[in-house]
Structure 1
Amino acid sequence: MSNGSNRTLVPQAREGLNKFKMEAAQEVGVNLTNGYNGDLTSRQNGSVGGQMVKKMVEQYEKNL
């Protein structure tokens, strides 16, 4: 059962997060579309999430 942990805590950030996700997908060569992406593999989805985390860590380290 879902506990709602996958919700956007700041609703105004949703557009920015979606743009960030699309950029990360493009960088790793995953054809992500707006809407349903259930045809993607776990590996493809994981590579997008991994790229997002990598870029967030890089940005954090840059701002130290």
Structure 2
Amino acid sequence: MASRNRVLVPEAREALDRFKLEAAKEVGTPLTNGYNGDLTSRQNGSVGGQMVKKIVEDYENHLK
């Protein structure tokens, strides 16, 4: 199966990585730039959830 986790704008990869590390820090997940296979699904999911939460908040703030 092909990976669906690809960056559509390659120039944005660095910003997305910074955003992911920032979200991980906020939820207390020890995420690194390298291998993170030792983290649980719950830890990784909390990072993704935090990222979505921040994106939605930003969008809602721009609507006001």
Alignment TM class, shorter chain as reference: over 0.9
Q: How does 1:23-38 map to 2 (within 5 A)?
A: 23-38=22-37
Structure 2 residue runs without a partner (length 5+): none
Q: How many pairs does the alignment contain?
A: 63
TM-score, length of structure 1 as denominator length: 0.95
TM-score, length of structure 2 as denominator length: 0.95
Residue in 2 that maps onto 1:53:
52
Identical pairs, percent: 75
In the TM superposition, structure 1's runs of 4+ consecutive aligned residues that sit over 6 Å from their partners are none
Residue in 2 that maps onto 1:22:
21
Structure 1 residue runs without a partner (length 5+): none
- RMSD between superposed Cα atoms in Å: 0.6
3-state DSSP of counterpart to 1:17: helix
